[in-house]
A and B are shown apart, each in its own frame.
Chain A
């Protein structure tokens, strides 16, 4: 294995899933990230918090392949990785749930789940033919696996509620072999009840060994779901603290004052 520096922890040994070191990103003269190092471990839910302009979105974009860093390295599973675009990230097992979900409204559930990776055979070895029945079947299976219940699969997702759409978007990510899901404000547009359902889904998936890196403004959600909280301020990492044993006030203070 490559020399990954695992900070000594009193708890059981953690394996590093994703490790970003010294990430720098500037837009023009503006340094959005100032050498940020962050590690997401196997099977944890990490929350990423910070004030507006702290660099959360930029960091998330770099990890998901939407932006490339000016400096710094990223290791995935201990191996240095080059993430130039979302495809690379996906191949490394990192998927991103964007705020606007990335669903095609007029498509039904299987069409959305298989968007861009449609299954097809070649009729007579030449003509591509979509395997519609198989895609529908596999979508059903996937949703059952994830314990996601939707009233119907064969109607446009525009007819579904915010939480149901979120569930479709998440299950879409899990079609591949995904180890880490990055979420940018997943509960922002949802009502209380809907948001709760998505939180439940996240912790359920976490129990199945999927890690999460969640950007959120909602401290209540952060405290209730995360294992650790990473705080950014002005492009610097203020610190990473375990959620258990840290109070909401401590974290708010880190966000505002920039120190632990």
Chain B
């Protein structure tokens, strides 16, 4: 008898509970991203009609592709309980190197722009891989905390970039570089968006379908258990940092194509923006949790915020305040979410 009463009571509140449970499940899986994305889109659309135009969203998509790419790199370091504070200066150094190599090769043989482009991109990616190796070895082998290691590298890399460039923009890249890598739009889709999609496909495959990706999550989730399971955790961590910086370097190459010169001060806002994008997308600072699809949306969201605030004529100074607040809120929510995940057990 009492059982039946309990069952009836359950079904009465069932609908509400189902709704709450659904929201909770989305929150546990994706963090606050779905909520803030909807709020931002609706809010900006109400405040500024131009925001929801096809042309504007198209621009946002194109402008966001650089941040999307570097955020996917940043995500990898967070998955192994790290962080990369040096991505902005990595992009800057890559930009300077790409410009230097392209200009040098082109000066030797002005009739071979594609040789110059290939050499420049190869050099840029190699610089990225090297930066990642140094970061990874510092973190995984010498046990330097990821924050300290990459802040140190931030200073070193931007110092090198400024030294090499003398603090001036570097010219002399073949014009085909910008035409193809930044301004081409096959089938009406901007090249940077296509490149971002390509990087997304690769990262998605690696993280979700390969043993290597599975182990990146495992190391972030429990490094001791991973080691006991026979995973060479240090090697995997170094490789993760190499992947991160190589992806970031690719972002730097594309950004260099877009601005048309080698810039030692390129992408200085990318560190803050990428961490905000990644954390808001539900990638945990505690490692092991996060989906690359959400990171793409997170980076899109951060660009959207900037774009919307520009349309609303919020000054760039005040935008910094908003971005900082967003980051802190995202981290607070991350901790709340982790605590909720653990609470599910005790229920």
Contacts and interface: CB of A to CB of B under 8 A. Distances in A.
B301 interface: no
B318 interface: no
Interface string A84-120: 0011001000000010111111110001000111101
B228 A102 contact: yes
A106 B289 contact: yes
Interface in B103-121: none
B226 interface: yes
B69 to A, nearest CB: 22
Nearest to A66: B228
A90 B228 CA distance: 11
A104 B211 contact: no
A106 B344 CA distance: 12
Contact of B288 (A87, A106, A117, A128): A106
Contact of A116 (B231, B288, B289, B345): B231
B230 A86 contact: yes
Nearest to B289: A106
Given A111-B214, A116-B215, A130-B214, A103 B222 contact: yes
A228 to B, nearest CB: 28
Contact of B217 (A98, A106, A117): A106
B12 interface: no
Contacts of B205: 127
A106 B225 CA distance: 12
Interface stretch (A156-164, A200-208, A247-255): A156-164
Contacts of A128: 209-212
Contact of B228 (A86, A111, A159): A86
A129 interface: yes
A160 B345 contact: yes
Given A115-B226, A116-B230, A159-B344, A104 B210 contact: no
A159 B210 contact: no
A173 to B, nearest CB: 11
Contacts of B215: 116, 118
Interface of A: 86-87, 90, 98, 100-107, 111, 115-118, 120, 127-130, 156, 158-161
19 contacts: A86-B228, A100-B224, A101-B225, A102-B222, A103-B222, A104-B221, A104-B226, A104-B288, A106-B341, A107-B217, A111-B214, A115-B218, A118-B211, A118-B215, A128-B212, A130-B208, A130-B214, A158-B341, A161-B345
Report, nearest first, the 6 A-B pairs whose CB atoms are least far apart: A116-B229, A104-B221, A102-B225, A118-B211, A115-B229, A104-B222
